[in-house]
Each structure stands twice: as C-alpha cells, then as structure tokens.
Amino acid sequence: MKYIKIVAIALPLILGYQACKDKEVKEDPIPEEEVVVVETIEYKTFEEQRIAFGGGENQTVEKTFTMHPQERNIDNIKMFVILDCPTGGCNIWDVYANIKVKDKAADKWYEIGRYITPYGVNTSQLEKGIEIDVTDFKSLLQGDVDLRARIETWGADGWNLTVNFEVTTGVPDYQYYAVSPVLMYDQWSTSGVPYGKEHAYDLERTITIPSNAQETALRTVISGWGHATPADSDGRPCAEWCFRTHDVKIDGENVFSHTMGPIGCPENVIQPQRGNWEPDRAGWCPGMAVPVRTDIFSESQAGKTFIFEYEYEEWTTDGGTASGQGGAFYATSSFVIVKSNEPITSATVVE
C-alpha cells in the first residue's frame, strides 16, 4: 500500500552511465534525466503469526511474500516488528529473536534483523513496532521474498508476530547493493561463538571485492548471552552483562571496533515490563532491536582481496555460572555490503 506520496522530481540519472574516454558512441544511450518518484510503500508480511513452543506451534516459521519489484531507486527499507500477546498472555521471558531473508541463489538464510522480546508485554507503546533498517539487503527484498521468523520461546504461550516493511523510493546513496555473508553464528542465543574458552569456530575469512565497487561496508549484529564467571569487579558476569570491546581486523590490523556497552535499557519506550528489564546489558535490551554496527571502509576496496578476522576481547571463564545457565556466548552475524551505481556482483568470501 502506498500511503505517502511526496513529490516527483527530475534528476540526473545515476546508473553508472558515463561517456567513454575515447568518446565511443553507444547505440542506445541512456537518457540524461529520468523522473524519480519519492514515496513510501508499505509491504505486509507476517501478520499475527503465532510463534510458540509446544501445543502444535513452532519457534520458527517460513513464508513467501511479494515485495517491491526492483532494487533501483530504493533509498531505504525499514522493517517493523510488532509483538502481541496471545490469549492467556505473552511469554514472560526476554528471549532471542530474529528475521532472516533467503538468498535463493546461494540457498542460504541471512539475518536482516535481531531483537530481544520484552518481558511478558506487547510492543503497543511503539507506534509502528521495533524498527530495524534493512536497506543493506535491498537486492534480496524484491519480488517474491522468502522470510524466516524465529523467537526462542520455550512456552506454549509465545507471541503473535507481525512484520511490516516500509520501502522509500528516491535517490539512494548508490543504486545497487550486493551482500555476502562473512560470519553467521546466529541461529540461537547459545549457538553463537563460545566466549572465554577454546572453541572450533572459525573467525577468519578471505574477502575479494568486485572491481566496480564504489563503497564497501561491513554490517555486524552481535549480542552476548549467559552468566559465566568470574564476574567483573562490578559484579557483571559474561556475556550478557560484561562490557567488552571487540576488534575487526583487516589484514592483521585493528580497523574497526565494537563496544558492547550500555544502550539505554532504563529509557526503553516499552515499560514497565514484567521482569528485570531496566539494568543495562552488554549491547542489548529487552524489548529493543539489537544494534546494527556498520563499518564503512575509507576507500572503496574495489578489486582488492583482504583478510577479515573478528577478535573478541580477551577473557577466560572459570567454568562457573552466576545463574545456573552455563557458558558465555556471542551470537554474531556479519556481512560485507558492496555498493555501486551500476549493477554489481557480491563480494567473494572464502573460509
């Protein structure tokens, strides 16, 4: 449904057309101007989708929806997650949840947004729901789109889930995006990378950027889980509570960093909740989206190959727990996004 139509404007076409240096004449020149309509279009996907555990319900649901017909001229895409309580009430716990889109060519599911459910209440205090910017995946959010919704709830109560998208057309930073997975340790809260002990998870990749890339960025979503000890001097166990800074290494050098610190749990719009929602976690809060961490390279990296490595701040567990929940984990997803004003292929990522 198109519910906001702002204006139609004439703009220089930015599709990558340019005169060849040798003044070669093209048979079908691209017109110098085209009309760009600026409008926001709503696409409804999951609607009051029951997600629960037991009683014939599932924690994970997959469905196909029809969305925007093309990626060109998409300025941004916002996803809104709405949680309603089924008869008998919402699940009482703050649990890990995400939405994924399927890359049909690669036959893989990519996490486009992660959030943590509020304790036992709905999201009605938010006008549109929990908001997540998913523009990076615009090449996949077009036409017939396969979506997967997952909420790690362990009760038959669960949630009723609605997911809406707002696609705003206009003049984007770049007309074409392409996305490749780098790390996808994000299935469940405890299927992330074990923290503070030896593990077999590979955190290094070799990435090659296409030659026509005009911008390259990394998109990372990370949340800590567990109450492993020893706790920090302020009593915070890992990895839900302990504040840490992780590094993104490029060719062995620290280029980007991610601080897993407070993001403002006491100021959460969804309040009060029916549990321990106010204390600051390490990089997330009950009833909020887990932040997207976007790292843009200072140069386009076009045609280059580099070594990516994710490095968690050093800490060693003693094997104990402050809550009865064993282990510390960092659920981590990271993608490389390449952008251009001409059609572009995805970066190549090799383990």
Q: Which residues are catalytic?
A: 94, 152, 240
Do the beta carbons of residue 98 and residue 109 sit within 8 Å?
no
Cα gap 109→3, rounded to integer Å: 30
Do the beta carbons of residue 29 and residue 46 sit within 8 Å?
no
Q: Based on the number of CB atoms within 10 Å of its own CB, is 312 exposed (0-12), middle (13-18) or buried (19 or more)?
A: buried
CA 2 to centroid of chain Cα atoms: 25
Q: C-alpha distances in angstroms, 102 versus 69, 179, 334, 338? A: 16, 12, 15, 18
| 251 backbone φψ class: left, alpha, beta (φ>0; ψ -120 to 50) | left
Q: C-alpha distances in angstroms, 170 versus 67, 132, 233? A: 17, 19, 51
Do the beta carbons of residue 351 and residue 205 sit within 8 Å?
yes
Residue 296: count of CB within 10 angstroms of its CB:
11
